[in-house]
Amino acid sequence: MAGSPSVGIVEDPRYRDHVGPAGHPERPERLVAVSDAIAARGDSLQRLAPRAATPDEILRVHDPSHLAALERAAQQAPVRLDPDTYLGTDSLEVAQLAAGAAVDLVRAVCRRDLDTGLAAIRPPGHHAEHDRAMGFCLLNNVAIAARAAQAEEGVDKILILDWDVHHGNGTQHSFEEDPSILYASTHQFPFYPGTGDFGEAGRGRGLGTTVNVPLPAGCGDAEYTAVAQRVLAPVARSYRPDLIIVSCGFDAHRDDPLAAMQLSGEGFRILSRVVRGLAEELCGGRLVLLLEGGYALSGLREGTSAVLDVLLDPDPGALDEAPVVPGTHIQQVLDRVHQVHARNFSGLSAL
Ligand SMILES: [Zn+2]
């Protein structure tokens, strides 16, 4: 890519208007930390103003009954939709702004108005099922954006890579029968929400285009690098997507209060370099990252900085493949993924 990349950013104070009970980890202050990292690079980013997703965009993914239930709940706000998930007086409007921004950022990258982009949105989306809110999530932003890219921009195949520390059950269920969207997830396991075991590999025509990499607690930069280089990269090269969207949670950071992984800011930099390299190699650089979880302010700040540094780098270069020590728990994870998916992805046979 010649010259400085054109990197889009979605950031808006209205995303802080989704306000829940005191002490809830999915809180507006998360975006203060993200904004610190954005402000440090402010002039080099292209700002996109968010607008609300339309019902048509939302209903490509969600059941009409879900949208109706959210609208009813908004009349009674503040309410809890499940033990973890709240809806405040402005929450539905903010969720629609999150989904709409995800759509617009993805469409701008598809049209090459931007090279890449990051949407600093909340509430997160990947736990939201087609017919219900779940796990802090009201609307499934990444799923809505992926369907918009296919419906409005003529994109054929999409890779959704979910490195949030939780499994994106809602995204998996949205696309598990659809081979045109490959959902690949790294997540702590066993852990909330309970889905995402190795054998969940898609269904029907979509068999093989769901790739789960459940990881034991305690994994850090070395383990995530091994998975990125030895699973995600060969899977992406075999699949050959036209667009890559990342469900970009920062809750695998070592400071995160909800999870027990050990990624550093440098680990998020490595993951970002791998996905940017894959996007340039496979799909003309088309790459969008959408914020999901992340509950330590330090993790949000370091993760956002890492992502933006890599997106803004005119030439991040290729990473050398890191060695994996035989017999370690990460080697066992790689072996299990290989057992399930070697027949689906030719590149995995070389693990
Ligand atoms: Zn999460």
Residue 173 is among the residues annotated as catalytic for this protein: no
At residue 349 the predicted structure's pLDDT band, cuts being 50, 70 and 90, is low
What's the angle, vertex CA 5, arms to CA 111 and CA 143, rounded to 5?
Answer: 45
226-247 confidence digits (pLDDT tens): 999 999 999 999 999 999 999 9
Indicate the residue type of 57: E
At residue 348 the predicted structure's pLDDT band, cuts being 50, 70 and 90, is confident
What is the pLDDT of the chain when averaged over all its residues? 97
The pLDDT, as a whole number, for residue 186 is 98
**Residue 166 Cα to ligand 1 middle (Å):** 4
Question: Is the pLDDT at 3 greater than 80, yes or no?
Answer: no
154-211 confidence digits (pLDDT tens): 999 999 999 999 999 999 999 999 999 999 999 999 999 999 999 999 999 999 999 9
**Residue 2 Cα to ligand 1 middle (Å):** 35
**Residue 292 Cα to ligand 1 middle (Å):** 6
How many other C-beta atoms can be found within 10 angstroms of the C-beta atom of residue 111? 11
Indicate which residue of 18, 62, 66, 127 is catalytic: 127
The sign of the CA dihedral 340, 343, 345, 347 is: positive
**Three-state secondary-structure class, residue 18:** coil
**Residue 306 Cα to ligand 1 middle (Å):** 18
**Residue 138 Cα to ligand 1 middle (Å):** 14
What's the angle, vertex CA 156, arms to CA 234 and CA 51, rounded to 5?
Answer: 110
The pLDDT, as a whole number, for residue 351 is 57
**Residue 124 Cα to ligand 1 middle (Å):** 8
Enumerate domains of the chain plus CATH numbers.
Answer: 7-350 (3.40.800.20)
Task: Give the burial class of 288: count Cβ atoms within 10 A of its Cβ; 0-12 exposed, 13-18 middle, 19 or more buried.
Answer: buried
Helix or strand run (H / E) with residue 81: strand 79-82
The pLDDT, as a whole number, for residue 1 is 46
How far is Cα of residue 78 from the mean position of the Cα atoms in its chain?
Answer: 27
Q: Is the pTM of this model over 0.85?
A: yes
Indicate the residue type of 139: L
117-133 confidence digits (pLDDT tens): 999 999 999 999 999 99
Question: Is the pLDDT at 262 greater than 50, yes or no?
Answer: yes
**Residue 255 Cα to ligand 1 middle (Å):** 13
DSSP per-residue letters across 153-222: H----EEEEE-SSS--HHHHHHHTT-TTEEEEEEEESS-TT----TT----GGGTTSEEEEEE-TT-BHH
**Residue 173 Cα to ligand 1 middle (Å):** 17
Helix or strand run (H / E) with residue 226: helix 221-227
